[in-house]
Amino acid sequence: MASPGQMTASNLLRTEGFPGNMVKICGLNPARSLGSRRLRMTQHSFHQQHLCCPRLQRVMTHNIRLLSSPGAVASKGFDSPLVEKPDTASDVKIIHLYRIPFLQESETMELLRKVKAKVSANIVDILTEQCFNIQLDNSLTPEKLTMLHWLLAETYEPEKLQTRSFLEDEVSRNSCTVIVEVGPRMTFSTAFSTNAVSICKSLSLVEVTRLERSRRYLLCLEPGSDPLDEGQLKEFTALVHDRMTECIYRNKLTSFQSDVDAELDFNAVQRGDAEMAQKLYRVVRACAEMGESNPIISIHDQGAGGNCNVVKEIIYPKGAEIDIRSIVVGDHTLSVLEIWGAEYQEQDALLVKLESRSLLESLCERERVSMAVIGKIDGSGKIVLIDSAAVEYSKLNDLPPPTPVEELELEKVLGDMPQKTFEFRRVSQVTEPLDIAPGVTLLDALKRVLRLPSVCSKRFLTTKVDRCVTGLVAQQQTVGPLQLPLADVAVIAQTYTDLTGGACSIGEQPIKGLLNPKAMARLAVGEALTNLVWAKVTSLADVKASGNWMYAAKLDGEGADMYDAAVALADCMIELGIAIDGGKDSLSMAAQCDGEVIKAPGNLVISTYVTCPDITLTVTPDLKLGEDGILLHIDLAKGNRRLGGSALAQAFDQIGNDCPDIDDVLYLKKVFEAIQELLSQRLISAGHDISDGGLIVCVLEMAFAGNCGFKLDIDLEDRSLIEGLFAEELGLIIEVHSKYLNIVKQKLEIAGISANVIGEVTNSPEIEVFIDGNLHLKEKTSDLRDLWEETSFQLEELQRLKSCVKLEKEGLKCRTSPSWSLSFTPKFTDGKLLTASLKPKVAIIREEGSNGDREMAAAFHAAGFEPWDITMSDLLAGKSSLKEFRGIAFVGGFSYADVLDSAKGWAASIRFNQPLIQQFQDFYHRPDTFSLGVCNGCQLMALLGWVPGSGVGGSLGTGGDMSQPRFIHNESGRFECRFTSVSIGDSPAIMFKGMEGSTLGVWSAHGEGRAFFPDENVLATVVKSNLAPVRYCDDSNNITETYPFNPNGSPLGIAALCSPDGRHLAMMPHPERCFMMWQYPWYPKEWQVEKSGPSPWLRMFQNAREWCS
């Protein structure tokens, strides 16, 4: 995306990937390997290089000690604070603003139900409010107070924000009440405060230095009942606050300098700014995309050891003099030791060319990242840490110059260190064979196994995280028409314009380690590869892995087990021809508690990653072929069926004694390569690995995901039913078309691989299992799936509104595949438009915290636009103007972390800046312009009054903010990420021309997407004038308000709003994240589209391009 002043320096469609991988791809040097670092650094002239630390202002360290000295003096020692300050509480004041309610009505009722059950049945009602505790270093003018009120109040309910507590007014009227207030610990500013203060500064509210939010609950008791005792109040607070980061406020705050949390200092390791890492990565990525002009020579992320470690390593072996005073801190009472050793993160140390300093500073300024030059490479071979303030103090007082705080020869610190020797004792384990009662049926066993957390649905983990951000996600966690969380492998695209990418997978078998650490290590590798195999990779030899070890290595037996596992792992990987190139060790997994040693079971997690030549060749577990599908079993254990450490054993509270293993490593390699060949020829329609739960669970999961049934017919060959179906020996189940069965079997036979037909797929949603010709199981797919989903839904009830969980749980029983249909055929953009020398310009506008700019730019670029990366910093500084653009796109993300309601801070930075709001309004009224707002951008357009517009009502109309439609918290009370169904109706929206009548899937990812209309007349006009072009619909294409088809509870299923002239469109779903078919997690085969081709959503952006012509 072109950026002001640097159009040629940036690559429009560069991958936005994981920062660690991005560093490697772009040629940056993460300084990790000392040997390679020594070789690399000798290639540069270090005496001309700056050492820079781009980072954020706030430093998170241990509890600060305020000293009693009456004045500020420079520090003189390693343990001295940077600046000694008196208590300045008298120089600041705290004001309080109260807003009701804190919880939605549905959430309050759910809390009341829990409180009645766990605290006291005498609590008959709960009222809530939030209190904004605002620290000021000066009084606010009436104008600034008005701005602050707009920021903190709900736009359509300004009367619900006041300086007096609503709850205290209620207490004065009702004696049978008690108020409980909880909020963040006061040792450090929270991420909420950091972002809120950033918003205030963008509005010139510089008087606000800290802004924390506390939550207040009024518990109403049954008249005549006894007051709540201390124990009951503690029970209540345990339900509503996090003891790690929050505390109880006994009284109204008058200062943030408080001893209320002296007992705990957990907040010392919390982040002060939720967006700090993203802003830093934007700077690094901007440098990387300059290619040969990249100003960064070397880069090292800060972690363990803090500045002390990262600086020493990045200057090795040449050496440098470092000034501790150059490091930016958020609290000047920090000692030199605290600054030098504190392990705060989201900071990188960079080696930068001397002539590139101003360029890096400009990039940091644009992304609002603070940068400090802390030293210069000098070739001394030492790290010399000086305190320039102490030096200056000595000069002023005619004292001898102080010695350096630290002066060390790097070779002695980081050079070749002598190897350590560890002595381990082996401890023999006493095991017992598995003992399952003979009368246990297959269904009995399944009822236990399918509910285990290691086997059950992971829905409770997947819908609450953004699985589509960047638009480069080709395979995320969910698969099939019902989007069940069953994917084996993750796949990302390298760019939006090609099909190359990368794949990664995970393998771990911790329970097996209790029996045989060697087998556990081999099985972890095996599971990782049998997950990875379903993505087409460049070669098995290209696979790299990360190994994460977790052991209580100092305890008898544990260290020896880890050693055995490591040796077995190395031997296995050497045979496979793959390698570990990184990892993490946690070798203190034990603790003393009440005189007893508590230890975690030893574990190894293998994470593999590799390049992909074609991301469209990925195969998922969901059965797809109906009556034409044949199921094949590839047995990697060659007939062994060992039950030790299995989910079945765990379900019966046992471990067993006979552990599965990989007895033939080369056979695993042979199977991997054979499956890869079948993927290349598209001969496999579905595939899944046998892991937790065994063969029967593997095939059931494939049927659950495909929403179909199967008929298994298995010959156990003198093994028991339990062994044959629940042993967790490595293996694969593949679905092939009946007409390709002989071809597949022949190819596998030529490769020396045995594959057995074990069943066939059925259209009817029923499971039948025959063992040695006898029927052992006949159940509905939905009934068994309900067992598999049960544990997940129980966990879901702890995370979101119980009524929503119930709706999804009951609705899943009768779900069908979505019946999407298109009123047009998706096509690529005309090549002439893509190669035109003059293209209409579109501004891709982002704010601090936005994360959807890259995919938005890619979608517009694919339609023939020239997208420009425009930050709010550019507009506020006057470096860019909207006059030169035909279109603007407000992107998705979490501007300022959405701390003062979604997009509120972003909107305020426009509305309360007169030159800026005038520029936006001029653009809005120009008849040759269009705008699109997605997700956070949609919320912004509503707050600006751009949709539905002044002619309908709202902020720009006669009703003002009080009648302006808004997007508020989801009905479920939680962030939701789903691939949801929508219907496109008739509307004046220019971007939906020719798409009317289509129903299709689209990514949705938001926590505040529920359309709310304070004025019913505005809603009536919107509906009558067809100004809601996109609506949520169910599997039958009916507009719906039912969860989860409607993920936020919007009335009439409204997912988008447009202006009456159709030029301005705001929508909560993300079309820019699925404008190519490979971005679709599932689509009906009736569409007959190419997975490598354009999706229907590209038509939106093409319509805008056509309109501009």
Phi, psi of 459 (to 5 degrees): -55, -35
Does residue 552 fall inside a structural domain? yes
SS3 256: coil
Between residues 30 and 632, the one the model is more confident about: 632
Give the up-direction half-sphere exposure of residue 612: CA atoms within 13 A in the CB hemisphere.
31
Same domain membership, residue 41 and residue 131: no
Residue 787 has a CB neighbour count (10 Å cut-off) of 19
In a domain, 14, yes or no: no
pLDDT digits (tens, 9 = 90+) for 785-814: 999 999 999 999 999 899 999 999 999 999
Query: Do 769 and 659 fall into the same domain?
Result: yes
Helix (H, G, I), strand (E, B) or coil at 437: coil
- Among 287, 723, 1072, 1108, the one annotated catalytic: 1072
- Stretch 491-501: mean pLDDT: 98
529: in domain = yes
Three-class SS of residue 361? Answer: helix
8 Å CB contact between 881 and 842: no
Going by C-beta distance under 8 Å and a sequence separation of 6 or more, which residues neighbour residue 291?
A: none
The yes-or-no answer on residue 935 being catalytic is yes
Confidence of residue 419 (pLDDT cuts 50, 70, 90): confident
Over 90: is that where the pLDDT of 48 sits? Answer: no
Nearest to 1023 by CA among 939, 948, 911: 948
Residues 201 and 56 in one domain: no
CATH code for the domain in which residue 1022 is found: 3.40.50.880
Number of domains in the chain: 4
- Long-range pairs for 780-784: beta carbons < 8 A, 24 or more residues apart: 781/703, 781/704, 781/707, 781/708, 781/709, 782/812, 782/813, 782/814, 784/446, 784/450, 784/700, 784/704
* Same domain as 852, residue 739: no
pLDDT score recorded for residue 67: 27
- Concatenating the DSSP letter of every residue in 906-963 gives HHHHHHT-HHHHHHHHHHHH-TT-EEEEETHHHHHHHHHT-SS-TTT-STTSTTGGGG
pLDDT value for 64: 27
**Is a pLDDT exceeding 50 seen at residue 298?**
yes
pLDDT value of position 54:
60
400 alpha-carbon distance from chain centroid = 54
**Which tokens go with 208?**
């606000």
Whether the ω angle into residue 621 lies within 30 degrees of 0, i.e. cis, is no
- pLDDT category at 274 given cuts 50, 70, 90 is low
Q: Per the domain annotation, does 1027 fall within a domain?
A: yes
Q: Select which of 935, 938, 977, 1033 is catalytic.
A: 935
Residue 486 has a pLDDT of: 98
User: Quick check: 1013 and 1051 in contact, CB under 8 A?
Assistant: yes
Distances, alpha carbon 680 to alpha carbons 410, 534, 541, 674, 684, in Å? 51, 11, 17, 10, 9
Q: Which of 632, 500, 521 is nearest to 576 (CA)?
A: 521
pLDDT band of 52, cuts 50, 70, 90: low
Question: Given CA atoms 1063, 1069, 1071, 1072 in this order, what sign does their dihedral have?
Answer: positive
Tens-place pLDDT, residues 640-655: 999 999 999 999 999 9
Pair (539, 627) in one structural domain: yes
Residue 305: the pLDDT is 84
Residue 571's pLDDT is what?
98
Confidence of residue 49 (pLDDT cuts 50, 70, 90): low
- The mean pLDDT value for 681-698 works out to 98
Q: Return the amino acid letter for 652.
A: F
Residues 457 and 377 in one domain: no
Domain boundary among 256, 288, 304: 256
pLDDT reported for residue 271: 57
The pair phi, psi for residue 980, each rounded to 5°, is -110, 160
With a cut of 60, say whether residue 579 has pLDDT above it. yes
* Structure confidence at residue 583 (pLDDT): 87
Task: Report cis status (omega within 30 of 0) of the bond before 601.
Answer: no
HSE, side-chain direction, 13 A CA sphere, residue 250: 5
In this structure, the answer to whether residues 913 and 1004 fall within a common structural domain is yes
Q: Minimum mean pLDDT among 68-82, 137-151, 711-725: which range?
A: 68-82
pLDDT on residue 188: 75
Q: Is residue 605 predicted with pLDDT exceeding 80? A: yes
According to the model, what pLDDT value does residue 380 have?
96
Tell me if residue 1101 falls in helix, strand or coil: helix
Closest CA to 1081 of 763, 1073, 112: 1073
Residue 68 pLDDT > 50 = no
Encoded tokens for 304? 């363990």
- pLDDT tens, 327-365? 988 767 788 998 998 887 678 999 998 999 999 999 999
- Residues 603, 477 share a domain: yes
Cα distances (Å, whole numbers) of residue 281 to 287, 364, 369, 664: 10, 10, 10, 44
More confident residue, 297 or 417: 297
CA distance 480 to 487: 9
Per the CB < 8 A criterion, the answer to whether 959 and 953 are in contact is: yes
CB atoms within 10 A of CB 89: 15
Contact, 909 vs 896, CB < 8 A? no
Question: Quick one: tokens of 805?
Answer: 């969980």
Residues 318, 223 share a domain: no
Q: What is the mean pLDDT of residues 835-852?
A: 97
pLDDT (0 to 100) of residue 29: 31
Last residue of a domain, one of 414, 434, 456: 414
**pLDDT tier at 463, thresholds 50, 70, 90:** very high
Question: What is the rounded distance in angstroms from the CA atom of residue 241 to the CA atom of residue 819?
Answer: 44
HSE, side-chain direction, 13 A CA sphere, residue 583: 20
* The predicted structure's pLDDT at residue 53: 63
Decide if pLDDT at 78 tops 70: no
Please give the helix or strand (H or E) that residue 148 lies within, else none: helix 142-152
**Please, where are the H alpha helices in 260-376?**
276-288, 306-315, 336-341, 357-366
Instruction: Look at residue 80 in the predicted model and tell me its pLDDT.
Output: 46
Does residue 1070 carry a catalytic annotation? yes
Paired with 107 in beta bridges are: none
pLDDT confidence bin for 416, thresholds 50/70/90: confident
Q: What is the pLDDT of residues 996-1015, one digit of tens each?
A: 999 999 999 999 999 999 99
pLDDT attached to residue 302: 85
Say what the pLDDT of residue 60 is: 33
Question: pLDDT exceeding 90 applies to what percent of the chain?
Answer: 81
Q: Above 80 in pLDDT, residue 161?
A: yes
495 pLDDT higher than 70:
yes
**What DSSP designation does 588 have?**
B
What is the residue whose two structure tokens read 């972002």?
195
Helix axes 802-812, 781-796, angle to 10 degrees: 170
One domain, residues 136 and 38: no
What distance in Å separates the CA atoms of residue 860 and residue 883, rounded to the nearest whole number?
19
* Cross-strand partners of 127: 218
pLDDT band at 1052 (very low <50, low <70, confident <90, very high): very high
Name the pTM for this structure. 0.91
Q: For position 931, what pLDDT does the model report?
A: 98
**Percent of all residues in the chain with a pLDDT value above 70, rounded to a whole number:** 90
One domain for residues 784 and 857: no
Measured CA to CA, the distance from residue 924 to residue 929 in angstroms comes to 7
Q: Is the pLDDT of residue 61 over 50?
A: no
Beta pairing, strands 774-780 & 841-846: unpaired
Domain CATH for 623: 3.90.650.10
User: Which of 676 and 600 is assigned the larger pLDDT?
Assistant: 676
pLDDT at 76 over 70: no
pLDDT at 417 over 80: no
Question: Which residue stretches of 681-740 are H helix?
Answer: 694-706, 721-726
535 falls within a domain = yes
Q: Check residue 557 and give its pLDDT.
A: 94
Over the chain, what is the mean pLDDT? 89
Residue 864: the pLDDT is: 98
**Tell me, what's the pLDDT at 258?**
61
pLDDT-wise least confident of 66-70, 194-198, 387-391: 66-70
Residues 657-685 have a mean pLDDT of 98
One domain, residues 48 and 99:
no
Element (H, E) at 871: strand 866-871
Would you say residue 939 lies in a domain? yes
Mean pLDDT check: name the lowest of 252-256, 705-709, 719-723, 1067-1071: 252-256
User: CA nearest 441: which of 130, 765, 133, 769?
Assistant: 769
State which amino acid sits at residue 89. Answer: A
Q: Is residue 638 in some structural domain? A: yes
Does the pLDDT of residue 872 top 90, yes or no? yes
Neighbour count for residue 797 (Cβ, 10 Å) = 16
> Using only C-alpha atoms, what is the Rg of the chain?
31
Report residue 189's pLDDT band, with 50, 70 and 90 as the boundaries.
Answer: confident
Domain that holds residue 236: 89-256
Residue 256's pLDDT is 86
385 φψ region: left (φ > 0), alpha (ψ -120 to 50), beta (else): beta
Indicate whether 811 belongs to any domain: no
